[in-house]
Amino acid sequence: MHRWKRYVRGFRREHNFAFSIGASSGTWRVKHLGTLDNQNFDNSGLYAKFQYSFHLPIYGGFGYLLGSSVGYHYETADRRQAFRPVSATQFPGILAGLVMNFTPVLRWSVAIDAYLERLDGLADRDGIGDDPTISITATTYDFGTFFDIFYNLNWGLRLEAHQRRLIYTHPHMHSGDQDFPVDASLKKDDQWMGLGLVYHLL
């Protein structure tokens, strides 16, 4: 029997905290922004993310988790591109998933995280007509998998991988007989891999 067995009792339940950093890559799909129509732009960046999750067992080492997360994405861009992405702040959302404790040392989880993400200053810089700069709050869905390796009773190393989709579509605005289009309809698909620390509060 592992020496932590009597403390963990087969399942690391209740309060878990994690902080991770990682690198991302993906594609912006700009359906409409200013004079840009149906164009794709590559992107890359760096992530920092803090996650809280509450774990409860279902049977043996298998269970589920609920929680939330906050984060920041520093996005790099080729200044020659007509589309200029910006860094983003992730607001707390809803995290839910499944977790498997193989031993008191090894744990694997999969989860979906839904949240809002704020981007201030997205820009069309193609030099054709007006070059708008907009600030948006987009809906983001993040599917992640996490592998935790505990090196002492409470602390562990986390390896994680994510697939994300960000969606923003603003409807037309109406005022009387006039119709004012808001030139913003875009998506972003990206992936990121990270490394971090996880703390289980026994």
> What is the band of 124 on the pLDDT scale with cuts at 50, 70, 90?
confident
Tell me: the pLDDT tens digits for 31-81? 887 778 888 988 899 999 999 999 999 999 999 999 999 999 998 876 667
pLDDT for residue 180? 46
Partner residues linked to 116 by β-bridges: 139
Rounded Cα gap, residues 41 and 100, in angstroms: 38
Residues recorded for the chain:
202
Cβ-Cβ contacts under 8 Å for 23 (sequence gap 6 or more): 44, 45, 46, 47, 192, 193, 194
Rounded Cα gap, residues 39 and 58, in angstroms: 46
What is the pTM assigned to this prediction?
0.86
What is the percent of the chain with per-residue pLDDT over 90, rounded to a whole number?
64
**CATH number assigned to the domain covering 14-200:** 2.40.160.20
Q: With 70 as the cut, is the pLDDT of residue 24 above it?
A: yes
Structure tokens at 103: 């031993």
Domains in the chain: boundaries: 14-200
Rounded Cα gap, residues 27 and 162, in angstroms: 14
